[in-house]
Structure 1
Amino acid sequence: MSLADAGTTVAAGSSQAATFQGPSIEQFFPPAIFFAGTPFEIDRLVIIRFISVAVLLIIGIVGTRSLKLVPGRGQAFIEYGFDVVRRNAFDNLGEKDGRRFLPLLASIFFGVLFMNLTGLIPGFNLQGTSRIAMPLILAVIAYVAFIYAGLRRHPGKFLRNAFFPPGVPWYLYIIVTPIEFVSTFVLRPVTLTLRLLMNMVVGHLLLVLFFSATSFFLFDSHSLFALFGVGTLAFGIAFSFFEILVALLQAYVFMLLTAVYIQLALAEEH
């Protein structure tokens, strides 16, 4: 029996019908708060993004304002997070290029992480990356950095080698060139965008499903179906911790793939 069927069955024996309201995609498009109907429309999700960026800036400024040789807990926590990005940048790009692109990679990692985590904060309950605009903007930034790195390092042959890989027989270019164009210049930004977006959307919908079902079973069913609420609550709590891991992992993957794409553009074979 599905949750909706359970709600219908319970409601039939009650004087006031109760129905289960599951999650919907409309939750990602809350009503406009400011500038409704204009290109500058601001809703709750946009405000969440603003707050995420503001909190990230405050933590960065306050946490690095008075650095000490022997760091305290706050400074140590910030240094550990930054060191994760630094080691990744140096491992993929080398020390020289790693230093050049470290600010970009750190901004992507912490920006994505903070916006991912807002879905677990009471009062927010919505990820800043759960609508396509933010993942798409970040993917475009990574894409521009990749193109910039390639053209800067190999101005005369970056695009030529991207479309016409060396060592391939000339008569195969009619097949290889379209494949290289799509895989390098289309699929990379698209997959970066969709991977982050879909993970955040699905995570939000599952959390809403678990906790909506808990509320329905415990407060609206008025029968033995209330026992199901204990199970859905347990699943909701467990999945909340799992979402923290997913938020961290998606931020790391986005940053890692950006570094890898830049490294491919800088490679000598280009």
Structure 2
Amino acid sequence: MIAGVSTEFIPPGPEDFNLPPIWASIPWLTKPVLVATLSVIIIVWFFWGASRKSAIVPSKLQFAGELGYNFVRNSIARDAIGSQEHMKYVPYLCGLFFFILLNNVAASVPLIQFPTFSHIGWAYAAAVMSWLIFNTVGIRKHGFGGYLKLQTMPAGVPAWLMPLMIPIEFISNILVRPVSLSLRLFANMFAGHILILVFVLGGEYMLFETGNIALGGVGVITFLVAIPIAGLELFVQCIQAYIFVVLTAQYIGSAIADEH
């Protein structure tokens, strides 16, 4: 206990992410569900409005929609999958990118301030959906046996190494990918949000609840430090949406490739 402190500071932890229902009568309607629903509505409205009255000279909304769509199509899908087959996967990748982006950025929006993917179940759901897609398209193209061979038997590896390589490649390419996808997204959203909570709640505690002038000054500094951390967290929120979708596109590309 610090001298002069009136009450003990309880640091934030995982329990702070277990939010109660918004209405007690609807137990499933939590803030993550509401944020995810709103993000879907915003995405549908945005792209519907951007494409509804397309013109050679685009409006601001059309320009923004085309900019976002072209970014996913050219910088993610085409580069990772290839120019021959990437277009059929652009709708999924585009929707996935903006869904993750909006739910991540929600952590920096006043009155919401909660990243949906800091709940591991949401990250698992997104990763499993991508896992099903890239495995399905690989099996459809190569057949079940051909796809397993492609994913577990690297070209150029000597036959005597195959008994060792096959289980390693199977675990790496088939089993681990959805786990790594989900944990990377979840861990970044969880850690970033809890870091901001530590600085904000710690600053508030030292400034208003300790009754100590020296600690009050430290509390002001803590609040100020929280501002650049929040800016860094906003960058991480955006980059994690990009990384998740880039990896998904790369996995689709490797699934439909003829040889690794």
SS in 1 for 2:4: helix
Residue 257 of structure 1: which of 244, 247, 254 is its match?
247
State the SS of the aligned residue for 2:3.
helix
Say whether the 8 Å CA contact 2:81–2:253 is kept in structure 1: yes
Question: Do structure 1's residue 9 and structure 2's residue 3 form an aligned pair?
Answer: yes
SS at 1:225 equivalent: helix
C-alpha contact 1:28 1:45 (8 A) present in aligned 2: no
Establish whether residue 195 from structure 1 lines up as the match of residue 184 from structure 2.
Answer: yes
Question: Structure 2, unaligned stretches of length 5 or more?
Answer: none
Aligned length: 255
Instruction: State the alpha-carbon separation in 2 of the partners of residues 71 and 21 from structure 1.
Output: 53
- Deviation (angstroms), 1:181: 0.9
TM-score when normalising by structure 1: 0.87
**Which deviates more from structure 2 when the two are superposed, residues 188-197 or residues 220-229?**
220-229
Instruction: Indicate yes or no: 2:110 matched with 1:122.
Output: yes
Which 4+ runs in 1 deviate beyond 6 A? none
In structure 1, list runs of 5 or more residues that go unmatched: 12-16
- In the aligned structure 1, how far is the partner of 2:175 from the partner of 2:205? 44
Deviation at 1:96, TM superposition (A): 3.3
The CA distance in 1 between the partners of 2:156 and 2:41, in whole Å, is: 50
Instruction: Find out whether 1:248 has 2:235 as its counterpart.
Output: no
Q: Deviations over 1:60-119 (max 9, x none)?
A: 222332223222333322222222101121122223311110011101110100000111
Output the aligned Cα RMSD: 1.8
C-alpha separation in 2, matches of 1:229 and 1:75:
45
| 92-101 vs 106-115, greater mean Cα deviation | 92-101
Q: Distance in 1 between matches of 2:158 and 2:83?
A: 36
Of 170, 190, 195, which aligns to 1:206?
Answer: 195
Question: How is 1:1-270 mapped onto 2 (pairs within 5 angstroms)?
Answer: 5=1, 8-11=2-5, 17-32=6-21, 33=23, 34-36=25-27, 41-87=28-74, 88-155=76-143, 157-222=146-211, 223-269=213-259
Change (3 A) 1:58 1:9: farther
TM-score computed with the length of structure 2 as normaliser? 0.91
Cα distance change, pair 9–59 in 1 and its aligned pair in 2 (3 A): farther
Aligned-residue sequence identity (percent) comes to 31
Task: Tell me whether 79-88 or 216-225 shows the greater mean CA deviation.
Answer: 216-225
